[in-house]
Amino acid sequence: MGRLSLSLVTAAMIGLATGQTFAADLPRKAPAYVPPAPPPITWTGCYIGANIGGAFNRGDANFAFGEASSSNNSGFAGGGQIGCDYQFAGGWVFGIRNMFDGTSLKRDRTLFDPVTGAAGTLNLKTQWFDTLTGRIGYAVAPAWLIYGQGGVAWANSKADLTFDGVTFGDLSNTRTGWTAGGGVEWMFARGWSAFLEGNYMDFGSNDHSVITPVACPAGCAFTTHAKAVTVLVGVNYRFNWGKAPY
According to the model, what pLDDT value does residue 217 have?
44
- What was the pLDDT predicted at 218? 42
* pTM greater than the 0.85 cutoff: no
> Low-confidence residues of the chain, pLDDT below 70?
1-30, 33-39, 59-72, 108-119, 122, 161, 163-171, 206-224, 241-246
If one counts the domains in the chain, the total is 1
Predicted local distance difference test score (pLDDT) of residue 121: 72
In a domain, 225, yes or no: yes
210: in domain: yes
pLDDT confidence of residue 162: 72
Express each pLDDT in 49-64 by its tens digit: 999 999 998 766 555 5
Domain of residue 168, CATH code: 2.40.160.20
Q: What is the DSSP string of the chain?
A: -HHHHHHHHHHHHHHHHHHHHHHHHSPPPPPPP-PPPPPPP---EEEEEEEEEEEEEEEEEEETTEEEEEEEEEEEEEEEEEEEEEEETTTEEEEEEEEEEEEEEEEEEEEE-TTT--EEEEEEEEEEEEEEEEEEEEEEETTEEEEEEEEEEEEEEEEEEEETTEEEEEEEEEEEEEEEEEEEEEEEETTEEEEEEEEEEEEEEEEEEE--SSS-TT-EEEEEEEEEEEEEEEEEEETTPPPP--
In a domain? residue 29: no
- CB 61 within 8 Å of CB 102: no
- For residue 19, the model assigns a pLDDT of 57
Task: List the one residue out of 147, 101, 152 whose CA is nearest residue 128.
Answer: 101
Report yes or no on 22 lying in a domain.
no
Write down the pLDDT at residue 244.
Answer: 43
Q: Is 39 within a domain?
A: no
What confidence tens digit (pLDDT) does each residue in 177-192 have?
999 999 999 999 988 9
Question: Does residue 25 lie in a domain region?
Answer: no
Residue 100 lies in a domain: yes
In a domain, 125, yes or no: yes
Name residues whose C-beta falls within 8 Å of residue 156's C-beta, 6 or more positions apart in sequence.
126, 127, 128, 172, 173, 174, 175
Rounded CA-CA distance 99/135 in Å is 13
> Residue 94's domain spans which residues?
45-65+75-238
